[in-house]
Amino acid sequence: MNELKNCPFCGEKAELRTTGNDYTKKRVAEIRCKSCCTKMRVGALKHNLEWCEKIVTENWNTRKIESQLLEAVLAYQELCTCYRLGRRPSEKLFVKLKKADKALEDM
């Protein structure tokens, strides 16, 4: 299973807990921040606990804004490298920078 990212609000560690099993009808996987109690849960009747754990972990670890910021930083880092080395930035990099600027504007 993937490692859990820290809490998006306070940055502290989070933990995964499950309730229910194959004999009970309801199964729940919950991730809770140990510090501020932010939580996220996924429950299922038709799927098993492993499925619940997988989905809640994916949801908890997916941070669209964080990913967009990282892509923007990497694009600008690449641009800095180009200028430092006296290279002309590629068309592909210009596309990345345009996408990064759009994402930053939308935040």
Helix (H, G, I), strand (E, B) or coil at 74: helix
Q: Which stretch binds Zn ion (CB under 5 A): 17-25, 28-36, 39-47, 72-80?
A: 28-36
- How would you classify residue 17: left for phi > 0, otherwise alpha for psi between -120 and 50, otherwise beta? beta
Binding Zn ion (rule: CB under 5 A), the pick from 15, 17, 24, 36 is 36
Cα separation, 71 vs 78, whole angstroms: 11
User: Binding of Zn ion at residue 40 (CB under 5 A)?
Assistant: no
Q: Which stretch binds Zn ion (CB under 5 A): 9-17, 18-26, 46-54, 65-73?
A: 9-17
Find the shortest distance in angstroms from Cβ 13 to Zn ion: 9
Residue 55 has a CB neighbour count (10 Å cut-off) of 15
Binding Zn ion (rule: CB under 5 A), the pick from 33, 52, 72, 75 is 33
